Structure formats: C-alpha cells, structure tokens
Chain A
Amino acid sequence: MRESTIMKIHYGTALAAVALVAVHILMRLTQGFAESLEYENVLANYKFIPYAAMLELILILLSIHGFNGLRVILLELKQGRVYEKAVSYGCLAAMIGLIAYGSRTIIMTNMGMI
C-alpha cells in the first residue's frame, strides 16, 4: 500500500475514533462510573446490539490506528529491509490478533454464550 493511503487511514481512524470514544466514555460517565462497571450493566450493554456494534467498530478502528502508530515509531527507530518487513507484518498480525481477540469477547457476550 502507498504510504499516503496508510496515513490517510491513520488520520481517518483517528477522526472516527474521536466521536466513538467520546460516546463510549460518556456512557460510562452517564451511568455513573462505578455502576457502569457492574457485571449486569456491562453484560446488558453488550447485549444491546447498536452498542456492541459500536464497540466492535472502536475495536477495529483503534487497533488499526494504534498498531499503525506503533509501526511508524518502530520504522523510525531502526532501518533495514528485514527489520522493516518484520515490523510491518508484525504490527499487522498484532492488529488482526487483537481485533480477533476483542471480537470474540463482543460476539460471544452479545450472543449470550457465557
């Protein structure tokens, strides 16, 4: 991928995340911080499909943004063909891994598979 495409995605994900993270945190705050973390409430949130979808979206966007950010830092730290390939694929793998792992939580909870 062209570096400009990657970076456009980086900025795009950041912008989208601004809105979504705001909602996510506001939900915590409107519910009262401590209560929001109680098992039932959390579970209820997960079961609410629009909210679960939003969480999934946050998960994907921030994973992309975060791991790309990490890739950028690592690319600047050290150079070399092998190293740079490793960084790129490593970050991509970590990103996919994290998305998969997080999705598992969201989907399973949402479908009541606990």
Chain B
Amino acid sequence: MAQVSSVPKGQTSPTSKSITLRISRFNPEHDESSGFMEFPISYEKWTTVLEAILDVKKHFDHSVAVRYSCRQATCGSCGMIINGKPRLACFTKISELNSNVVTVEPMNNFPIIRDLAVKFEKLFDTHQKIKPYLIRDDTEIQSNEKEFLQSPEEVEQYIQFANCIKCGLCNSACPTMATDSSFVGPQALAQAYRYVADSRDKGKDSRLKIIDDSHGIWRCHFAGSCSQVCPKGVDPAMGIQLLRGYLLGFRS
C-alpha cells in the first residue's frame, strides 16, 4: 500500500480487489506525443486513485510525475482527468468508479509539465487579476480596533464561494476554457463573486469593471460543467450568474 494510507501494519485483507491503472505519460521536453502505461493495482474499498498512483511511483516506476500534498481534498494539488472527467485523485475512490480500468490523464486546458502535473500560472494570474481581497480604506488594523461586525446570515452569502481550493477542475471542464485562452474562467469569476458578496467589501465596482471584458464574464454561457465537477461544492456557475446580475442591472 502506498505511503499515504499509512495504517500501522496488518494492511492487506482478503477483501482487496484489483484493477488496471492506465497513466498518461508525456514529457513535452523529450517526447513527441503522449502514451499510456498500464499497471495492475490491488485496492481496498477506501483506496483512492492518488494512493494507487503513488503505489505505482513507489513500486513500479519512480518517474511518474504527479502533484500531491494534503491527501484530504483541501490543498487542490491533485486535479486530473480520471476516467474522462476532471476530479481530485485524492478524493476519488477506486471503488466508486465501478470500472476495471482506471485511466488518469493530466487536466485539460492547462499546459502539461510532465505526465499528470500541469502548469497553474495562468490560474494564479487570473485569480490575482480579479482583486481577491477586501477593498476598503481601513483593512490595516489600528490598535484596539474591533472586528467588522458580520451576522451569520451575511457570512452565508459568500462562504460557499470561499471554499474554493484552486484545484482548477472547473477550468478544466468549462467549454469556453477549452478554446478561449484569454477567458478569466469559472475559478476566478467565482472568487470575484466571493468578495463582491462579502458584506465587508466595498470593491464591487472596480471588480465588475475588470470582468466586464471581451474575455470576461460574458464568455460564460451557463454550461454548468464547472459546478458539476467542483469537489468543494463551490458552484461557480451560480456565483457567475449572480455576478452577471449586477452587470445587467438585475441586482445592485
């Protein structure tokens, strides 16, 4: 068992089954094109795809390139395409895929570094572009100043969107992202809404200006795939439509 499922000893049980894990291998610096390598993997009902990949890395092929860290779906490292859909490898159990073959590929719409690891610079840049911080004059605290008051209901208005772990799955699923390299994307748009909806924030107008661009919010067509693949229940599609409500004058 991979180092992640680190139960002290006594691990393999008679309940373990096996599947074939197909890993997409591609190093753009050296390879002409990508290919798959297959590995037999035995798994328990709780074994995650990430554990399976790390098992391969540990025992079959040390060179598999994959990004991972928290193994508990909070750091956003391990997004990849698993059996055709963008998912977190550490948050997908082999047993729930109901398939004898598990295929893992790098996320779409992100440049490949190597194998399963992709570049995130673009996502980080667009995230920064939408000013993801409270905008007001008194964000720097003076001594003895109190907190800004905020009711639980006001927190409820944005907390959902604050759950984003920047895994990029939404950007990988979005049909506009598939062809539009300048599109801000659901991740950043949802974060724009997160701050606009925060009762402490006063930066709505400047943020709306940024996303009201020819590759801004209007390039979302409410396809909803972003929300379907989001592992944290962020629902970017909702945030984007609510945000657009402001621009269309439905909300203020």
Contact = CB atoms under 8 A, between A and B. Distances in A.
A3 B180 contact: no
Contact of A75 (B212, B214, B248): B214
A3 B218 contact: yes
Contacts of A3: 212-214, 216, 218
B180 A75 contact: yes
A79 B216 CA distance: 13
Nearest to A2: B212
Interface string B210-252: 0011111011000000000000000000000000000110000
A72 to B, nearest CB: 8
A76 B183 contact: yes
Contacts of A114: none
Interface in A47-79: 72, 75-79
Interface residues of B, number: 15
A100 interface: no
Contacts of B218: 3-4, 6-7, 72
Q: How large, as a class, is the contact surface on chain A?
A: 10 to 19
B248 A8 contact: yes
Interface of B: 176, 179-183, 212-216, 218-219, 247-248
26 contacts: A3-B212, A3-B213, A3-B214, A3-B216, A3-B218, A4-B212, A4-B218, A4-B248, A7-B218, A8-B248, A72-B218, A72-B219, A75-B180, A75-B214, A75-B215, A75-B219, A76-B179, A76-B180, A76-B183, A76-B219, A77-B179, A77-B180, A78-B179, A79-B181, A79-B182, A84-B214
Interface of A: 2-4, 6-8, 11, 72, 75-79, 84
